[in-house]
Amino acid sequence: MTKVIRSLWELLLLTCDTGKSVRLTCEECFILLGYDADLLAGGAPLEEIRPIVNHHLALCPECQARFDEWLEELNGEQPHPHSN
């Protein structure tokens, strides 16, 4: 059985309704993280990234570690504030 990964536009539409319960795969989380990383690089506050992405990061240590690496690259040295 082939795993279907939703496109960025589908994920953006699904996650813009914060009342919906959407479960992301790691691949989908990183599609959104790439988009959100661009927003962060443009000066958007970290707190404004999608709550669904934050939820996935809280549940998936591999994705959290990868996101921390991205933030370190963006900020020069500052890791994600939720890192242990």
Residues 27-84: pLDDT tens digits? 888 888 888 878 878 888 877 777 778 888 888 999 899 888 877 887 775 444 555 4
pTM for this model (two decimals): 0.63
Of residues 72, 71, 36, 77, the one with CA closest to residue 53: 36
Cβ contacts of 29 within 8 Å, gap of 6 or more: 53, 56, 57, 60, 63
